[in-house]
Amino acid sequence: PKELSIALTGNPNCGKSSLFNALTGAHQKVGNFPGVTIEKYEGYLDYRGYRIKVVDLPGTYSLTPYSPEEIVTRQYLIEQRPDVVVNVIEGPNIERSLLLTTQLMEMEVDFLVALNMMDEVEERGMKIDTRQLQKLLGCHIVPTSAKKRTGLELLLDHVIRVGTGDIAIQKNKLFFRPGLEEPINEISELLAPELELAAYNSRWLAIKLLESDREVYREIQRQPAWVKAEVVMQGALKDARRLYGSDPEELISEDRHSFIRGAMKECVEMPTEKRTSLT
């Protein structure tokens, strides 16, 4: 059979292991990620002529380098390069879930969203405009319920489409405010030709540098382009403080959250409060 590899990412309790179990059934094994005690669940399934390898990555809210789960997840995405990343979103808590999604957008990995717990979304009367959300996130969104085992075939159909490059949706970039975009682009251009960084997306590296990400720092400080990149970063720091009174790190985080708030406003309608009888 033809082969595809997918990795599941998502917040803790989004239903990732339920989905993993529903997809891979009995074909599972558990090991460890290299150098850490975090368990690595791997499995496979056969679907429409494809053998699809599935790795269940640890649950994370973000992709900063401050927890072993987050480091393992992003290293896996960068080094192992699964064909498709499936971002499992907890439907009822979509706003919180989207923080991780914005960071997958920044990494420019090939991903799609499994909008999970749709049974609960419907039960609560939440309305999610997936068509519009797809445009904003620049990825396919497939409603699923790992619990009721619905949407799984549609999810796999989309995995195959994304994995084979048959994608109808344009990736979207999250743009940062003036004063950040310029240094991001400059640093990105400085880093792009560095051969040792070939595995990385240079825009992502630039964003991470401006976020003072210690792991990326360590990597970039060994590169010839570091000297010039550092100058740009110093300028960015000065500009950010002068223009906004904050450091780039905080502004980047604020911009992610305002993108998410915008997406929520445009695409998600929460149920109107039901009257509760007061006695």
Q: Is 22 annotated as a binding residue?
A: yes
Q: Is 87 annotated as a binding residue?
A: no
Closer to ligand GDP by Cβ: residue 117 or 128:
117
Q: Is 264 annotated as a binding residue?
A: no
Least distance in Å: CB of 115 to ligand GDP?
Answer: 10
List interacting residues with ligand GDP (CB under 6 A): 10, 12-18, 59, 116-117, 119-120, 145-147
Closer to ligand GDP by Cβ: residue 115 or 205:
115
Least distance in Å: CB of 56 to ligand GDP?
Answer: 7
| Integer Cα distance of 89 and 59 in angstroms | 11
User: DSSP string spanning 29-92?
Assistant: EEEE-TTS--EEEEEEEEETTEEEEEEEPPP-S---SSSHHHHHHHHIIIII--SEEEEEEEGG
**Residue 104: which of 128, 145, 76, 144 has the closest Cα?**
76
Q: Is 31 annotated as a binding residue?
A: no
Closer to ligand GDP by Cβ: residue 82 or 179:
82
Least distance in Å: CB of 100 to ligand GDP?
Answer: 12
Q: Is 56 annotated as a binding residue?
A: yes
Scan for tokens 């949706």, then name that residue.
169
Least distance in Å: CB of 177 to ligand GDP?
Answer: 33
| Integer Cα distance of 176 and 19 in angstroms | 33
Least distance in Å: CB of 160 to ligand GDP?
Answer: 22
Closer to ligand GDP by Cβ: residue 119 or 189:
119
| Integer Cα distance of 118 and 131 in angstroms | 15
| Integer Cα distance of 210 and 228 in angstroms | 14
Task: Please state the residue numbers annotated as binding site for GTP.
Answer: 10-17, 35-39, 56-59, 116-119
Task: Please state the residue numbers annotated as binding site for Mg(2+).
Answer: 21-22, 24-25
